Structure 1
Amino acid sequence: MSKYAFGVDVGGTTVKLGLFNDEGQVLDKWEIPTVKDNGGEKVLPDIAASIKNKMQEKNITAADLVGVGIGAPGAVNADGFMVNGAVNIGWGSFDLAETLKKELDLPVTVKAGNDANVAALGEMWQGGGKGYSNLVAVTLGTGVGGGIIIDGRILTGTNGAGGEIGHIHMEDNETEVCGCKNKGCLEQYASATGITRLANRRLAKDDAPSILRGGEISAKTVFDAVKAGDKVAIEIAEQFGEYLGKGLAAVASVVDPQIFVIGGGVSKAGDILFKYIEPSYKRCAFGPCKQAKFALAKLGNDAGIYGAAALVLK
């Protein structure tokens, strides 16, 4: 008889939910709005109500349910406690797993994790890292997120901040401030906004001809120009790759992964990213770590619900 699990991915605008069987197949997925009024007090009750409605719709009893996993945007420790809250939702520090369990009022397991870590688990389970048990997932979006999986388990750290690779210090001479309030973080050069920063700085440096001049500057337009052979765009890509390759080499020296799985909006550029990341990585990585593989993430925006389900199914 099949068993089931729900995977929940809490975002600032919507909450994604998925119903999975115990073989890792997604049977249904849907979204509900993230209601952030009054410190986000309705988010967990809304999630619990949505799960119960789906159970009723699918004729799933509590006895059929293995559990519910939830990923949230904030530091979550190994016990499912949100250490510093989730600022973009309005949550403070509280026991996320236990609070959702009380809202569900069902005799099932509830586990919680940081959204980037949970997405990494999803990519290991059913995505670009399938078949590997030691991996680093890197999300190149507005920022640089990361999740580290060791022996099939999320590395959370003391404060739930394990895998925050976007905030590795890379540049002493940076004058702009990162979102974390430090300066010179990897995120400032390797994220979508970081690539735009590198591009604007390079274009301001001289008058070298480039198809980037006079148009919108974004990670997409930079890599489109790279594919078209634009020399200035290639310089920008090389600088991006230098930073990211060096940062990932530092990560590898600590956790020695089998594979790096690259996702997020920037990853839509495709395999060409690796042409610029790998040379810097191989030059800087410790000897035994140089053989780590690179792959693109496969689950896209569903990585969070897959990983959340894996919290209770794996």
Structure 2
Amino acid sequence: MADQWIVGVDLGGTTTKLAFINMDGEIIHKWEISTDNSNEGQNITKNIANTIDEKLEELSLTKDKLIGIGMGAPGPVNYETGVILNVVNLGWKDNYPLMHSLEEATLLPAAIENDANCAALGEMWQGAGNGAKDLVCVTLGTGVGGGVIANGNIVQGINGAAGEIGHITSIPNGGAACNCGKTGCLETVASATGIVRLAMLELKRGESVGELAEKLDENGKITAKDVFDSARNADVLATKVLDDVSFHLGFALANIANTLNPEKIVLGGGVSKAGSILLDNVKEYLAKFAFTSVRESTKLTLATLGNDAGVLGAAWLIKNKLNL
């Protein structure tokens, strides 16, 4: 059993990442395929099974090398049943039996969890969590995801929707519409798309001068990275957007920390690549709004696993389920 591998899968709307991982959490092989969400997502698990078989053949290995498959999927998941409750962009109907479909396609025992929860588990097992048993992981990407680990276990909630940190209401009145159907969610101000939206509002509202305005003129668009790069160069407008984002993120995280008092809050996802300019600003607001003993004990840190967090957490999931 020690030399068998686990399959970790991180299912995204456009790309599916896969990895063969050993029992110690070391990635042996990793690759990715496009996610085919046509035909109501009926090809997704078939394509995963096919690419696993092809990779085994390429490595001259047989299926008995693999002991199980774990998957992180975008949306609330009922961990016990492996049913994904609702998905915005994968074509599946609500309450899709994803675990059953994956087991049927791959002929392997499977475990399914929300993708942000998997990233949190990955960071706990092999990354910035460094063995911390009480951990909150926030992924800042196109959206904002969250995973809460208490005493080493993912907090599921009554129907698998716990940890939806991106949908904490940050702007109660007059907030922007979110894909979830609400308005003013944290996701609308702290995701990559939210940051760009705030910057565009500022550019329209203020005098279009400075580095960020120049980047918009040059490229016809701006990115979240442009905002952070311009803020590093003390661009007034970019600095204001950075402060706005840091306030909302710090405020939400302080309230989470006051509720859970985790050992660590880990920021991951593409936006976290901004590094210290974001982390230091968020830390200031977190300290401002956190309860004294929480402020002294909860550490805010950056994720270390990058794109590997999801596949590692998915592998940990099935390893844990099979008691390996």
Partner SS for 1:170: coil
Query: Structure 1: how far apart are the matches of 2:79 and 2:91?
Result: 22
Query: Structure 2: how far apart are the matches of 1:33 and 1:212?
Result: 33
Partner SS for 2:149: strand
Instruction: Quote the residue 1:248 is aligned against.
Output: 253
Partner SS for 2:78: coil
Alpha-carbon shift at residue 60 of structure 1 (Å): 4.4
| Identical pairs, percent | 44
Partner SS for 1:112: strand
For residues 122-175 of structure 1, the C-alpha deviation after alignment (integer angstroms, 9 at most, x for no partner) is 111112222312111111112111111122222121222111111101112225
Query: Structure 2: how far apart are the matches of 1:76 and 1:160?
Result: 5
1:214-293 equivalences under 5 Å are 214-216=214-216, 217-291=222-296, 292-293=298-299
Instruction: Quote the residue 1:200 is aligned against.
Output: 200
Instruction: Quote the residue 1:103 is aligned against.
Output: 105
Gap runs ≥5 in structure 2: 217-221
Maintained 8 Å contact 2:134/2:262: yes
Alpha-carbon shift at residue 51 of structure 1 (Å): 2.4
Q: Which of 281, 294, 301 is equivalent to 1:295?
A: 301
Alpha-carbon shift at residue 83 of structure 1 (Å): 4.0
AA partner of residue 65 (structure 1): L
Partner SS for 2:69: strand
TM-score by length of 2: 0.89
Residue 308 (structure 2) pairs with residue 306 (structure 1)? no
AA partner of residue 235 (structure 2): D
Instruction: Quote the residue 1:16 is aligned against.
Output: 17
Maintained 8 Å contact 1:211/1:225: yes
Residues 98, 204 of structure 1: alpha-carbon distance in 2 compared, 3 angstrom cutoff? same
Maintained 8 Å contact 2:79/2:111: no
Query: Structure 2: how far apart are the matches of 1:148 and 1:286?
Result: 19
Query: Structure 2: how far apart are the matches of 1:15 and 1:209?
Result: 41
Alpha-carbon shift at residue 210 of structure 1 (Å): 2.8
Partner SS for 2:16: strand
Residue 115 (structure 2) pairs with residue 118 (structure 1)? no
Alpha-carbon shift at residue 81 of structure 1 (Å): 2.7
AA partner of residue 313 (structure 1): K
Residues 248, 175 of structure 1: alpha-carbon distance in 2 compared, 3 angstrom cutoff? closer
The number of aligned residues is 311
Instruction: Quote the residue 1:48 is aligned against.
Output: 49
Maintained 8 Å contact 2:10/2:17: yes
Higher mean C-alpha displacement, 286-295 vs 257-266: 286-295
Maintained 8 Å contact 2:72/2:310: yes
Residues 33, 209 of structure 1: alpha-carbon distance in 2 compared, 3 angstrom cutoff? closer
Query: Structure 2: how far apart are the matches of 1:231 and 1:274?
Result: 19
Instruction: Quote the residue 2:177 is aligned against.
Output: 177
Maintained 8 Å contact 1:195/1:236: yes
Gap runs ≥5 in structure 1: none
TM-score by length of 1: 0.91
Task: Kindly report structure 1 stretches of 4+ aligned residues shifted beyond 6 Å.
Answer: none
Alpha-carbon shift at residue 211 of structure 1 (Å): 2.0
Instruction: Quote the residue 2:219 is aligned against.
Output: none
For residues 197-248 of structure 1, the C-alpha deviation after alignment (integer angstroms, 9 at most, x for no partner) is 2223333444385322242233212211221122332222111111100011
CA RMSD, 1 decimal: 2.0
Query: Structure 1: how far apart are the matches of 2:153 and 2:8?
Result: 17
For residues 231-267 of structure 1, the C-alpha deviation after alignment (integer angstroms, 9 at most, x for no partner) is 3322221111111000111111222211111112211
Query: Structure 1: how far apart are the matches of 2:253 and 2:136?
Result: 9
Maintained 8 Å contact 1:80/1:111: no
Query: Structure 1: how far apart are the matches of 2:189 and 2:60?
Result: 46
